[in-house]
Amino acid sequence: MFQRHVSRRMSFVASLLIVFTLILSACGGAGGAAGGPKQSIGQGEGQVDIIAWAGYIERGESDPAYDWVTQFEKDTGCKVNVKVAATSDEMVTLMNQGGFDLVTASGDASNRLISGGKVQEVNISLIPSWKNVDERLQNAPWHTVNGKHYGTPYQWGPNVLMYNTAAFPTPPTSWEVVFKEMTLADGQSNKGRVQAYDGPIYIADAALYLKATKPELGITDPYALTKPQFDAAVALLTEQRALVQRYWHDAAVQVDDFTNEGTVASGSWPYQVNLLKSSGLPVDSTIPQEGVTGWADTTMMHINAPHPNCGYKWMEWSLNPRSQGDIAAWFGSVPAVPEACMSSDLLTDTGCGVNGFDNFAKIAFWKTPSTDCGNGKNECVPYSDWTTAYLGIKGK
């Protein structure tokens, strides 16, 4: 009797082990917090679901010349489905909800996703093109924690000052044109004709301006602000509120506002600048003397990605020089792979220079504010307070 019970119990345990092994095999080997990064890439699951910024993943629908999706789908059998997100906060929310494989996260979202356990460590040995990634990005703090990589670099660039050339015959040299009321060259006030970014991270833009114009505040990092520094930035944005025509987060809406609503100046992405200029509108952009904030985006994989094999295949594909160059040409960004600067007919050999390849050190890249001031002190204002304060500014 005893031997029969033992035999049945051992048989049950063996069955569990078999089932567990099959589950792991179906998942492609390993992946997730407990199992560590994947160790091999299996057959594609037929699709990959990606959260991305507008204009980041094109299949020729906007312009037939810009298509870095169709060939990937043919080569891998992985259909690309894209959910466009307008802000980093929206990306974090969508990733928290789950059901997606990848996200093109900026630095103000990536560290939140890592610390929140929503993205998995990436095995860069499964991504052959990793070796071609710009050395300035390979170990960047917005995707590398304790030597572990949580994504592959995608594109980077500045938050430029976009302006209407009729209102500004001479390019503006300072962010003052969006923060302070003034009469412009066309004889009209800038009140009701400027925009601000619709996200708490925009407080860093105010801090960057104050860093240059009020050195007595002692701001060194626009994302690591003590309470007095933070209060000064909030006060500036509260003053700006009376000037703002719209807090923008939708690139298409901002393009329409510059086209039809009389908007003449705003922080923006090169993507909108390119769209407006290609339509023949009197628009250009500049990097003001105070500098700019910017974004370096990372393709990150959800901790419970439904289609991890297709996800890895996409990350590898996204790093090929042709795709990188085409993306940069369309978005106005800088490729994460330097070889792309000479590999895309759309970008051309001068495109990387025009888009700011040499401006890396001039950009204060987005990152998530925390209490850590970076100097051993924990007296800085965390992102949750940035969110509360910005909602208050917009609600005035």
* pTM given for the model: 0.84
Give the total residue count for the chain.
396
DSSP 64: T
In this predicted model, what pLDDT tens digit does every residue of 48-68 receive, in sequence order? 999 999 999 999 999 999 999
How many Å is the maximal CA-CA distance in the chain? Answer: 100
* pLDDT band with cut points at 50, 70 and 90 for residue 345: very high
**15 pLDDT more than 80:** no
In this predicted model, what pLDDT tens digit does every residue of 347-389 receive, in sequence order? 999 999 989 999 999 899 999 999 999 888 899 999 999 999 9
* pLDDT band with cut points at 50, 70 and 90 for residue 10: very low
Round to whole Å and give the CA distance between 1 and 3. Answer: 5
Hey, what domains does the chain have and what are their CATH numbers?
A: 47-156+295-358 (3.40.190.10), 160-268+367-394 (3.40.190)
Task: With CA atoms as reference, report the closest residue to 291 among 141, 163, 107, 160.
Answer: 160
Round to whole Å and give the CA distance between 51 and 64. Answer: 22
